[in-house]
Amino acid sequence: MSSIVPDLEFLLVAVTSILAIMNPLSTTAIYSVLTEDATAESRKQVIVTAMKISLFVLLFFALTGQLIFTILGLTIPAFKIAGGILLVLVAFGMLYPRKVEYAAAELENIAIVPLAFPLTCGAGTITTVILLASESGNIIQTVSVFVAIILAVAISYYAMTYSHFIFRYVGEEELKVIPKLMAVFVLAIAIQFVINGLAEALPQIISEI
């Protein structure tokens, strides 16, 4: 039983990390505005297209991230440090967001930009899944990363599908608070990635001095 606990903890961390970066409620709010004049069928198609793209991209990078490192001659510790710094910037962007206006566009374009890129599978989310995959210590934890991606995308899918119910109970003020709370989690995750990267890189640096 004790051997299962670390794997369950890793799965929980993976799901929490991806959801914190992905921030489905904020994406859902933007989706609702962009598709408010569309038919129910068109709105559904937008969600399906955006989530299919996001799922494919995130699974692809979780699966091939380390191979890409090998091809480019990068090390996992270096990417953990760089990725952690990137996530710090993402967290500050969530804490102090710039006002962005998403102009109305054709529905098929909305599914790709901004719903898939950059909201659901942007640079921060891609970095997170690659880092999580590199942190996995066994096959169960590796599978946990894929499960976490699927769960996070599924939550985003259902959040947008039932957006009219969600916003009946979640007011405008609550929507402003949620990204701030998520930003704190993202910042903590980012710092931990940097610490892990430095811990792995220092022995190599010291040995070369």
Give the CATH number of domain 4-208; options: 1.10.1790, 1.20.1250, 2.40.50, 1.25.10.
Answer: 1.20.1250
Domain extents in the chain: 4-208
Residue 206 identity: I
pLDDT tens digits along 108-142: 788 998 899 888 998 889 999 999 998 888 999 99
pLDDT tens digits along 41-92: 999 999 999 999 999 999 999 999 888 888 888 887 888 888 889 888 888 8
Closest CA to 49 of 114, 102, 146: 114
pLDDT tens digits along 178-203: 778 878 888 888 898 899 889 988 88
pTM reported for the whole predicted model: 0.81
Rounded Cα gap, residues 14 and 128, in angstroms:
9
Task: Output the CA angle 132-157-116, nearest 5 degrees.
Answer: 65
Residue 167 identity: F
Long-range contacts of 144-151 (CB under 8 A, 24+ apart): 144/7, 144/10, 144/11, 144/14, 145/14, 145/62, 146/59, 146/62, 146/63, 147/11, 147/14, 148/11, 148/14, 148/15, 148/17, 148/18, 149/18, 149/55, 149/58, 149/59, 149/62, 150/55, 151/15
Rounded Cα gap, residues 15 and 159, in angstroms:
16
The whole-number pLDDT of residue 100 equals 54
Residue 170 identity: V
φ and ψ at residue 133, rounded to 5 degrees? -60, -40
Asked if residues 166 and 28 have their Cβ atoms less than 8 Å apart, the reply is yes
